[in-house]
Amino acid sequence: MAPIRLRGPNGLSTIQVPFEDDTYTVQSLQQEILKATEILPSRQLLKSGYPPTSLAVIPDLPVSSLGLKGGDQIIVSEDSSRAPAVAPPSPPVAAPAPSIGGLLPQVMPKEEGGPAYVETDGSFLIHRVVPDDNSCLFTSVALIFEQDPTKAPKMRAIVAEGIKKDTETFNEAILGRPVDEYISIIQKPQTWGGAIELTILANHYSTEIASIDVETGRIDHFTPTGADSGNRCIVIYSGIHYDAATLSPMLEAPDEWHQTVFPVKSKDDDDSVLVAGKKLADKLRERKAFTNTSTFDLKCEDCGKGLKGEKEARQHAESTGHVNFGEY
């Protein structure tokens, strides 16, 4: 078995392919792609290599006929000109993920037509979507600084260590709970991160983290307080979810070609990469890819009580100890 990366409309995923098994056909691979992308085999357009070229898909041939090897990437898109033979199955509806630190569920609208992007200076600033699993901030920062979104736990450990080293700044009043308790909770995968975590991570990597709010277009700058590399990166905030934004020389370039950190050309928001970031937020706003946390309807999954917005959710949590909420 060897890993093959899939880049589809819903982001990145990895499947295992038994290239040595002659009974594993191209059609078998297409079924795995269907599971990962919900695109029917009859509508799958597959490309690989650089520059990406179309694969000769002959379903009955062994998968080795595609000329792929372990570690390669397949770019999957949907041929909308072909009518599907059957309606695709509806994906299962997952239960809301529990959240302790952030309290609210992460529900990010799926981007129709693939991730949003804007062109800038001959390259493309691309919305890099990460999973809605309560670790989105840490996953996004891991993607940016480590080029590996699976290193979200490392980002949590960095935050915990940053608090331990500076309990004068990150005291109980700032954290909203005892320091030891906060350190314990922030290392759990179901706990959200926010401004405190972005501040610590910016300091650790000596790099400004610019957080762009989709609903308002506001840019919050988390700048290092010590050594400063003179660089910045961008995260996109939807109200309840963080993603990354990275610069690619072309739309279908492999991940390793993406630039994740940019030199600061201007301290103001007229820096070209920030201008592109705001345009990217504009596109996401047009797609309604944000949540107004002050007005959305919630349900307490512990007792069934209906609530309006984050404020009522926090009040309910403080009075009852309930921390599991879902959107209506």
* Average pLDDT of the residues in 85-92: 31
Domain boundary among 78, 99, 130: 78
Q: CB within 8 A of 122, min separation 6: which ones?
A: 249
**In terms of domains, do 17 and 67 share one?**
yes
55 lies in the same domain as 140: no
79 contact partners, CB below 8 Å, separation of at least 6: 43, 44, 45
Whether 302 shows a pLDDT value over 50: the answer reads yes
Residue 244 and residue 135 share a domain: yes
Q: Which pLDDT belongs to residue 323? A: 55
221 three-class SS: strand
53-66: pLDDT as tens digits: 788 888 878 888 88
What is the tally of structural domains in the chain? 3
Distance CA 39, CA 4 (A): 17
Q: How confident is the model at residue 304 (pLDDT cuts 50, 70, 90)?
A: confident
Compute the mean pLDDT over every residue in the chain, rounded to the nearest whole number: 82
Share of the chain above pLDDT 90, in %: 39
**pLDDT of residue 80 exceeding 70:** no
- Same domain? For 258 and 131 the reply is yes
Give me the CATH number covering residue 134. Answer: 3.90.70.80
- Structural domain for 184, as ranges: 117-286
User: Which residues touch 191 (CB under 8 Å, ≥6 apart)?
Assistant: 99, 100, 101, 102, 134, 185
- Point out the least confidently predicted range of 40-49, 122-131, 165-174, 315-324: 315-324
pLDDT by residue (tens digit) across 110-164?
Answer: 444 568 999 988 899 999 999 878 899 999 999 999 999 999 999 999 999 999 9
Measure the CA–CA gap between 6 and 14, rounded to whole angstroms: 6
3-class state of residue 263 by DSSP: strand
242 and 127 inside one domain: yes
DSSP string, 22-70: TT-BHHHHHHHHHHHH---GGGEEEEETTTTEE----TTSBGGGG---T
Q: Strand order in 306-308's β-sheet?
A: 306-308, 297-300, 325-327
63 and 121 assigned to the same domain:
no
In the chain, the percentage of residues whose pLDDT exceeds 70 is: 82
CB contact at 8 A, 297 and 308: yes
Task: Say which residues have a Cβ less than 8 Å from residue 270's Cβ, sequence separation at least 6.
Answer: none
Q: What is the pLDDT of residue 38?
A: 84
The answer to whether residues 64 and 145 belong to one domain is no
Same domain, 62 and 168: no
Q: Identify the band that residue 81 occupies on the pLDDT scale cut at 50, 70 and 90.
A: low
The mean pLDDT value for 261-287 works out to 92
Same domain, 145 and 262: yes
Q: Which residue, among 176, 145, 148, 150, has the nearest Cα to 163 in the 3D structure?
A: 176
Q: Are residues 250 and 210 in the same domain?
A: yes
Nearest-angstrom CA–CA distance, 158 and 179: 15
Q: Are 263 and 274 in contact (CB under 8 A)?
A: no
Q: Which residues are catalytic?
A: 133, 136, 241, 322
Does residue 174 fall inside a structural domain?
Answer: yes
263 exposure class (CB count in 10 Å sphere: 0-12, 13-18, 19+) = exposed
pLDDT at 83 over 60: no
93 has a pLDDT exceeding 60: no
The tokens for 84 are 């599907």
